[in-house]
Amino acid sequence: MKITGRAWKYGDNVNTDYIIPGRYMELTDPKEMAKHAMEGIDTTFVAEVQKGDIVVAGRNFGCGSSREHAPLSLKYAGVGCVVAESYARIFYRNAVNIGLPALECPGVTKSVDQGDELELDLGAGTVTNLTRGSKLGFTPLPAFMLDVLNAGGLVPYLSKLESW
């Protein structure tokens, strides 16, 4: 599975209230949530993000609340993947569960600038910065996780299993 897009770069400790402020917690429609993605930290994001773009962040991305609003808002805003130095555990699980790839890649914030074009190969475990001509590695995702992501998340994946 490959994802190509423009980088949106953020720092460390980007919490769920930055990703989608708590005042939107009553929203249940992911398309409505998407209208407020990254509103707490970047007011230009929703107007400028393009389908397949990639959020690049530092350590502890998605810390804070356990609600799924944060990864859902990113996915429905068009984000193809989040690549971070590290994640808050609950954000990482929620992202995978809803079908948003979340990759842990040490050194990514030093190797990517805002707006760089990136190509991610989830199976091979590579982040290629097409703008700089550089490449970073990360632990490739196991086949079952790629299957979950390709299905669109955990629920669609499980619904396809005959034994489920």
- Token readout for 68 is 């799924």
Q: What is the pLDDT of residue 162?
A: 66
For residues 38 and 35, give the distance between their C-alpha atoms in angstroms, rounded to a whole number.
9
Name the CA radius of gyration of the chain, rounded: 15
Contacts of residue 44, Cβ cutoff 8 Å, sequence gap at least 6: none
Q: What is the pLDDT of residue 44?
A: 95
In the chain, how many domains are there? 1
Q: What is the pLDDT of residue 72?
A: 95
Torsion sign over Cα 44, 42, 27, 53:
positive
Tell me which residue range forms the domain holding 134. Answer: 2-160
pLDDT < 70 regions, the chain: 162-164
What CATH number does the domain containing 96 carry? 3.20.19.10
